[in-house]
A and B are shown apart, each in its own frame.
Chain A
Amino acid sequence: MQDMGIEVLFQGRNFVRLLEGLWVTVRISVFSVIVSTLLGIILGMIMTMKNPLLRIITRCYLEFVRIMPQLVLLFLVYFGLTKMFRINLSGEISAIIVFVIWGTAEMGDLVRGALTSIPVHQYESGKALGLTTVQNYCYVIIPQTIRRLLPQAINLVTRMIKTTSLIVLIGVVEVVKVGQQIIEASRLTSPSAAVWVYGVIFFLYFIVCYPISILSKRLEVKWRN
């Protein structure tokens, strides 16, 4: 009988191992996304300030992180730090550091864009109502900023989740790596396992990312009405 390769998924702990790999992916992503969102909001607010020195510093940071491929950043942190400063970080910690550096820069720029797109008269009418600066931000500016930010922020989050597949290259065993291991182990017994394993990985990424875009669509619709 022709070998279908699908049974590889159900051999031993293979499927559970894939899920464990997914958990590593999700764990790194969720942590990085949360931290970069918080830091990104702060960075975005700093970027709207008029101080020229702060502007130059944040601009340089943003451009540096944007120009640099994420893989190079990963190597810089994982191998570079060890070589230069004898700091030995685990792959997972390095990955989180890189994703936070990257996510903060991107999120900061999105927040800056959203904040500056709020018309001046929105700030002024809040003030004219006698709201304090804090109240003005809480009730008038930030709710509008979040609404403008949401589509791009969700896009960034899914990009971050997908980019975690790069961390295979610094030795973190996440979902893609587990898949490769399974394929390698069964290369002789079922050569067509790769299709099935990568198919499952595709599906796993999908079930992580799809609910996020559904949520964002829901919120967009809700806020439009």
Chain B
Amino acid sequence: MKKPAVPSSLRKQLLCAAWRVMVSVLMSVSLAACAQRTDKHTLTFWTIGREGEAVTQLLPEFERENPGIHVVLQQLPLSAAHQKLLTAFAGDSTPDITQLGNTWLPELAALGALEPLQTRVKPSSIIRPDDYFPSIWSTNVYEGVLYGVPWYIDTRLLFYRSDMLKALGFDAPPRDWREWRRMLAALSHPGRGIYGILLPTNEYEQLMSLALQQPDALLRDGGRYGNFESVGFKRALSFYVDTFRLHQAPPITNIEAGNPWEEFGRGVYSFYFSGPWNIQEFRKRLPAAAETQWNTAPLPGPDGPGASVAGGSSLVIFRKARNKQAAWKLIEYLSRPDVQGRFYDLLGDMPPRRSSWNQRSLHDDPKAQAFREQLERVKPTPPVPEWEQIANEMQLVAAQAVAGNLTVDQAAAEIDRRADRILEKRRWMLDHAHHPTDENL
């Protein structure tokens, strides 16, 4: 083939343009490579949900104290976090350190994605395990190995309208289920759209908290089978379902509930079964004058004060982290009582260690006291990677029972059936011992 004759000036221009394209392509490739290969002074930190914004205000001080370390923060929305973490693991692109809900911790620990932290905790002068609430600490131990340090706690208890209770002659919040049921009956007027309590039928935390109050474990035989046909779980499920059948709670999901804070303020619900972040949420959304109308109370149990769930988020380091030493420094910084106090002020996330609770703002807040009391009485969920899925199925079946499609006995049997199906692989794993495990769940 003969080259077409191109005037030399044009050829020069073409050459020049080609060079420019080449150079810019090369540059963008190398830039991408730079972005990929973070140097060892950069720490990538993933947060989930609301914590990301508050933590940006805590990081500058950390970087001042540790001039060599630069923290790159990435905020994941809660709805996408689980998927993103697993995808990152599958794609070998995990960050150095992440916030991790403690029900997800067994899952990532089972994957072998997390760095054991026992050897780092031992010499630490800042993180002292005996200062932490023991049940919360234990959720970070999977098969005898410590994988995370609790960052904040999330337990569920009762928000209640103290003024409405008082008007009906109840001077104190309920201590046990019987008393609670009496109050719910007195407070509910379904004909006028007034209900004692809001229990969104698509949230599993409420039923799970009631179930954790029972002496029976939720799974049996070392997490091989569901234990939902136990007397205890059926008692919890009956109490839950009865609340709807007696029209003391509307059978709606949190999608329809829309704005529960305002409705609580208007007295549509007198009880609200939720977590610590709602203290600030109520203060923000209700007028200041309403502050004296509501309070928080520990969860009433079947006979006397009951347990609740030992939920919360932890900080974990990934096994493939490039800079584990710096990551550990960040964990230590975020675990300091004074930093945790500021974290509470910023966001209302409650600290997992007792000494942090001596900070003024927490210590003096009357609405936080119920949480402080509840924290001495919390129970962890079964530490199996499948728990999140089992809890979801439990709630789907419970919603069927609420709708009247299943009796309590049928529902319990159905939850067991679904849990056993989900746990099939785990049973196989345990029996074939690919996976050393302790049997004392």
A-B interaction: no
User: Using a CB–CB distance below 8 Å, which chain A residues touch chain B?
Assistant: none
